[in-house]
Structure 1
Amino acid sequence: MNKQKRLEILTRLRANNPHPTTELNFSTSFELLIAVILSAQATDVGVNKATDKLYPVANTPETIFSLGVEGLKEYIKTIGLFNSKAKNVIETCRILIEKHDSIVPENREALEALPGVGRKTANVVLNTAFGWPTIAVDTHIDRVSNRTKFAPGKNVIEVENKLLKVVPAEFKVDVHHWLILHGRYTCVARKPRCGSCIIEDLCEFKDKTE
């Protein structure tokens, strides 16, 4: 895909959604961090149902840590992998309390050292909580980038590096959200909704649907 097509795609996505953000419910960087840890292999809707009950009771490292693993499980047991996620969240809270004064670090290395936090989660937190021009590549972004030929890559790291290279600076903070939402609601996995797609004429996917 050429530079002009990419620019037009980004321009249209921005015009359609000028101020995109995550669909996870959060009001602090800590709430966002916990929600993103919980969202691995789970839907944002499912995570929100759990955190909407959890956060009024406990929404700081100290208060969630005080629940303990078993106490936390009661709030997140509707989410997939809740056993391992409960352990990761409690351990993350302990590390934040002991090493970071209960503050979410604005630092990739420190974030990735937390249990349950990988590169994608760190990218989400740095982008959404702190406004960094990072691009977290999930299955939706990977699919959209490859299917449209906007930023093809053999794996999520290749796609992330390609996006960082080809997306102009003015779009970098928001492109992660645009592509996720596009993949979640329009360029869906099984049968993309090409007929209702605002970038259909620019997309280089060969097997477009009606």
Structure 2
Amino acid sequence: MNQQKRIEILTRLRDNNPHPTTELNFSSPFELLIAVILSAQATDKGVNKATDKLFSVANTPEKIYALGVDGLKEYIKTIGLYNSKAENIIKTCKDLIDKHHSQVPDNREALEALAGVGRKTANVVLNTAFGQPTIAVDTHIFRVANRTGFAPGKDVVKVEEKLLKVVPEEFKVDVHHWLILHGRYTCIARKPRCGSCLIEDLCEFKEKTDV
């Protein structure tokens, strides 16, 4: 795909949604961090259901740590992998209290040192909480980048590297959200909704649908 086409795609996505953000509910960097840890292999809708109750009771590292692993599980047991997520979150809260004055760090190295936080989670927090031009590649972004020809790559790291290389600075902060939403609602996994896609004429996918 040539760069002119990429810029047109990004321009259309921006015009359609000038101020995109995550669909996870949060009101602080800490709440976002917990929500993103919980969102691995879970839907944002499912996470929001659990965190709406959790955060009304405990929304600081101290308060969640005070719940303990078993107490936390009661709030998140509807979410996949809740046992390991509860353990990771309690460890993360302890580290935030002991090492970061209960504040979520705004750099990748410190974030990735926290339990349950990998590269993708760190990228989401850096981008959404701190406005840094990072691009977290999840299954939706991986699919859209490859299917459209926008930034093909054989694994998520390769796609992330390609996106960071080809996305102009003016689009970098928001591209993560545009591509996720596009993959979640239009360029869906089973059968993309090409007929209702605003970048269909620019997309290089060969097996387009009429839907």
Same fold at TM > 0.5? yes
Partner secondary structure for residue 122 of structure 2: helix
Unpaired stretches in structure 2, ≥5 consecutive residues: none
Q: Percent identity?
A: 83
Structure 2 distance, partners of 1:199, 1:99, is 46
Q: Give the alignment of 1:116-195 within 5 angstroms.
A: 116-195=116-195
Match of 2:46 in 1: 46
Partner secondary structure for residue 57 of structure 2: coil
Normalised to the residue count of structure 1, the TM-score between the two structures is 1.00
Normalised to the residue count of structure 2, the TM-score between the two structures is 0.99
Structure 2 distance, partners of 1:147, 1:154, is 12
Q: Give the alignment of 1:1-210 within 5 angstroms.
A: 1-210=1-210
Structure 2 distance, partners of 1:4, 1:184, is 25
**CA offsets per residue over residues 7-57 of structure 1, 9 Å max, x none?**
000000000000000000000000000000000000000000000000010
Partner secondary structure for residue 133 of structure 2: coil
- Partner AA of 2:151 in structure 1: A
The RMSD of aligned alpha carbons is: 0.2
**CA offsets per residue over residues 149-200 of structure 1, 9 Å max, x none?**
0000000000000000000000000000000000000000000000000000
Structure 1 distance, partners of 2:48, 2:79, is 10
Runs of 4+ in 1 over 6 A off after TM superposition: none
Unpaired stretches in structure 1, ≥5 consecutive residues: none
* Post-superposition offset of 1:75: 0.1
Structure 1 distance, partners of 2:150, 2:105, is 32
Aligned length: 210
Structure 2 distance, partners of 1:75, 1:123, is 25
